[in-house]
Amino acid sequence: MDETLSVKVPFRLNQHAPLIIVQGRVSGHGPVDMVLDTGASGTVISRELAQQAGIPLEGPERDASGPESSQKVVIVDLARLEIGDLEVKNLKVAIMDLTQVNNKARMNASVILGYDFLRRFEFTINYAGSWVRFEPL
């Protein structure tokens, strides 16, 4: 598995907010729900998932702001993120509490896939077929 392959994966739409959710793994842990967010600049993983996957919560801290709040996040190098047969290695991600986001959208996402992940691919969203295809650039 690597990021040089074209990969087609199923998705589901969140019933309470128009969000595309795919399943994937973080450092071998999962499957977990991942939201494709074309409006997010960076990829985020939840503190809970980081702890479950044994990812150290050590690294530079930054302020992150969302639509309704802001909080401190820790930036780490993620060893591996997988979606279907797609694998991305050494991705910088922010670790933050996603409780408020999940409660508002009534979901249980552990990852938000942002621009830093999505820019690596041309991706096609097929709503009728409920799939996303990732093609490496």
What are the DSSP calls for 1-28, one per residue?
--TTS-EEEE-EE-SSS--EEEEEEETT
**Residue type at 4?**
T
CB 106 within 8 A of CB 16: yes
CB 2 within 8 A of CB 134: no
Q: Which of 36-45, 56-65, 89-98 has the lowest mean pLDDT?
A: 56-65
The whole-model pTM stands at 0.90
Tens digit of each residue's pLDDT (9 = 90 or more) over 41-76: 999 999 999 999 999 888 878 877 665 667 889 999
CA dist list (Å): 36 to 12, 57, 60, 62, 98: 11, 23, 25, 22, 15
- Domains in the chain (CATH in brackets) are 7-120 (2.40.70.10)
